[in-house]
Amino acid sequence: MIDSRTVSQPYLPWIAAGFVFGIIGSDVLPHHALPFHPLIWLWGLAVPLAFFSLCWKKVGSHAGMFCALMICGWAAVPATSQSSRTPHLVDVCAEVTAVRYQERSQVLVCAVQEVYVPQGKDIKRITCLGPCTDIVSVGDMVRVRGVWQMVSYKGRERPEIRATDIYLEESRYDGTRGWAWRAIGRIGVRQELAATLLLGSGRPPERNVFRQAGLAHIMAVSGLHVGLALLSIVWICRICAVPWLWRQGLVLIAAGGYVWLTGGSMPTQRAALMAIIIIVAQIMRRELHPLTALSLTVLCLIVIDPADIKSLSFQLSACAVLGILTLGRSLLAWRMHVLPLNPWPLDRPLWRVLLYVMRAFCDGILVGVSASLATAPLIMTTFAELHIWSPVATVLATPFLVIILAIGLPTITLHALWEEGPWQGLFWVCEVSFEGLCTIAQWCASWPYAYIKTESMPIIMIFLWPLLFACAAWKRPSTVEVIDDEER
């Protein structure tokens, strides 16, 4: 028996949004720009405002709680100090995630594993500029020594090392993910694309075509990849008649393993953590508002490292999910009302399949439109570009991406268990899927107005844009389906 219940508007999204805006605003409005110490603003304004919001159980209480926690986030995370921007010597051990060439220099994008000099400095991701060398590949562990400095890149500051010495510490085939890299080596000419989609590392030569087609988000392992990978596992478990509770446990293990396999980027952590929260809530038989799961994920990431909230990858990922959960759900409800596309009991199987494909295509377009609209201000402000065909291109590319993840990840695992096993047929399916994905990208990139250069969005539009999604979330109450244990 399925019981549909309506969940009231929760407080948690306002709390998470307040912290996020406050943390991001600490660089826009530094602490020294205001006359009093941050603790005075915290105790003198934020705490009374939060107390007033809790006592006043009306609509204005949400706005009051948002403002109070925005002050808390601003006071808790200071802006990047000028001393940290001063160039200084560093010595780090890092994993190479991308390699590119700039004139006579080699640029390495690295995920820092350990900092030797200066001790205690928190560095996570750096760009190393040094002399060209053929000994370094994507996935290798390197030791980098040089001058650390902050440079401006597309309107944002990022750390860069002018490397004087680059040493190979460990080859990618000898590391903890060496079994996966050896499996990637058995794929044909699309090895670099396979490493990017399956392992989250690399800078494939097809990146420019994907970007022009509006498929740049496919090149970065994010919530789309995590969701498709976990859905593939659920589908396989259902075919094998795995019990419901065991199925949830396998999905939890798979989510953690996929984050480790892909290097633990910020969008991957967000997606996996959100999936874990939803699964745990289902196991505990708790009703979750859709925005509550996203809010809990953001708050957990804030607790782990508040500075990560300022990264562009987290902001794009969170905005896309927010757009899907607000405007996207409203568009899907509108489609079900206007164009249900539901089969009748006596319809032929072929007609049922056709209706299913049409529903999937329409829903995919609407979800893509909502995600594109939600991320448009960030993309236009940072990259000064616009891709109007991105939702359509994403829907066309998704079937190939599903095959790549559903076949590629198990194939890599089977190859690790038995490297000389009869897996050549599975690798061939992956190669065909990669070729199909590239063909779709090239076709979509040739469409008119597929890639439009734009100017930065006006400031007033950046502030008014979220109101579209706030209204969609406010007007549409959440309906949660509770399934009895007998049906499970």
pLDDT tens per residue, range 27-61: 767 666 666 666 666 667 666 766 666 666 555 56
pLDDT at 322 over 80: yes
**Spatial distance between the Cα atoms of 164 and 92, rounded to a whole number of angstroms:** 12
pLDDT digit string, tens, across residues 172-206? 999 888 999 999 988 888 999 999 999 988 889 89
Q: Which residue(s) pair with 105 in the sheet?
A: 102, 131
State residue 183's pLDDT score.
92
What pLDDT score was predicted for residue 4? 44
Mind spelling out the 3-state secondary structure of the chain? CEEEEEECCCCHHHHHHHHHHHHHHHHHCCHHHCCCCHHHHHHHHHHHHHHHHHHCCCHHHHHHHHHHHHHHHHHHCCCCCCHHHCCEEEEEEEEEEEEEEECCEEEEEEEEEEEEECCCCCCCEEEEEEECCCCCCCCCEEEEEEEEEEEEECCEEEEEEEEEEEEEEECCCCCCCHHHHHHHCCCCCCHHHHHHHHHCCCCCCCHHHHHHCCCHHHHCCCHHHHHHHHHHHHHHHHHCCCCHHHHHHHHHHHHHHHHHHCCCCHHHHHHHHHHHHHHHHHHCCCCCCHHHHHHHHHHHHHHHCHHHHHCHHHHHHHHHHHHHHHHHHHHHHHHHHHCCCCCCCCCCHHHHHHHHHHHHHHHHHHHHHHHHHHHHHHHHHHHCEECCCHHHHHHHHHHHHHHHHHHHHHHHHHHHHCCCCCCHHHHHHHHHHHHHHHHHHHHHHCCCCCCEECCCCCHHHHHHHHHHHHHHHHHCCEEEEEECCCCC
pLDDT (0 to 100) of residue 358: 93
> Tokens 């670099």 map to which residue?
192
Average pLDDT score over residue span 452-472: 72
Average pLDDT over residues 127-145: 83
pLDDT at 460: 67
Report the pLDDT value the prediction gives residue 484, as an integer from 0 to 100: 45
Predicted pLDDT of residue 150:
77
Q: Is the pLDDT of residue 482 over 50?
A: no
The predicted structure's pLDDT at residue 155: 58
Per DSSP, what are the bridge partners of residue 91?
A: 117, 145
Instruction: Judge whether 45 and 94 are in contact, CB under 8 Å.
Output: no
Percentage of residues of the chain with pLDDT beyond 70? 80
**pLDDT tens-place string over residues 73-122:** 777 776 555 445 677 788 888 888 888 776 567 888 888 888 887 765 66
The Cβ of residue 166 has, within 10 Å, a number of other Cβ atoms equal to 21
Percentage of residues of the chain with pLDDT beyond 90 = 24
pLDDT at 466 over 50: yes
User: Residue 475's pLDDT is what?
Assistant: 55
- Residue for token digits 């309506």? 6
Query: What number is the average pLDDT over the span 14-36?
Result: 75
* Bridging pattern class, strands 125-131 and 105-117: antiparallel
pLDDT tens digits, 203-230: 898 999 999 999 998 988 888 889 888 9
Residue 384 has pLDDT above 90, yes or no: no
Q: What is the value of pTM for the model shown?
A: 0.84
Higher pLDDT, 241 or 125: 241
State how far the Cα of 201 lies from the Cα of 109, in Å rounded to an integer.
Answer: 10
User: Which of the four pLDDT bands, split at 50, 70 and 90, describes residue 154?
Assistant: low
Model confidence band, residue 346 (pLDDT cutoffs 50, 70, 90): confident
d(CA 230, CA 368): 19
- What is the rounded average pLDDT of the residues 61-65? 68
* Distance between CA atoms of residues 412 and 415, nearest Å: 5
Count the alpha carbons within 13 Å of 48 in the hemisphere toward its beta carbon: 5
Q: Mean pLDDT across the chain, nearest whole number?
A: 82
Residue carrying structure tokens 């979800």:
367
How far apart (Å, rounded) are the C-alpha atoms in residues 241 and 28? 54
* Structure confidence at residue 369 (pLDDT): 92
Section 242-260 average pLDDT = 91
**Euclidean distance between CA atoms 289 and 480, whole angstroms:** 8
| C-alpha–C-alpha distance, residues 430 and 432, integer Å | 5
**Residue 62 predicted with pLDDT over 60:** yes
What is the predicted pLDDT for the residue at 180? 93
pLDDT of residue 69: 74
Q: What pLDDT, on a 0 to 100 scale, did the predictor assign at position 130?
A: 79
Spatial contact of 16 and 298, defined as CB atoms under 8 Å apart: yes
pLDDT-based confidence at residue 20 (cuts at 50, 70, 90): confident
Give the C-alpha separation, 328 to 330, whole Å: 5
Under 8 Å between Cβ of 159 and 123: yes
| Res 428: pLDDT | 94
Query: What tens digit of pLDDT does each residue of 408-439 get?
Result: 999 999 998 898 888 999 999 999 999 999 99
| pLDDT value at residue 483 | 43
Distance CA 132, CA 449 (A): 37
The predicted pLDDT at position 431 comes to 94
- The predicted structure's pLDDT at residue 53: 66
Q: What is the pLDDT of residues 395-404, one digit of tens each?
A: 999 999 999 9
Range with the lowest mean pLDDT among 425-429, 464-468, 483-487?
A: 483-487
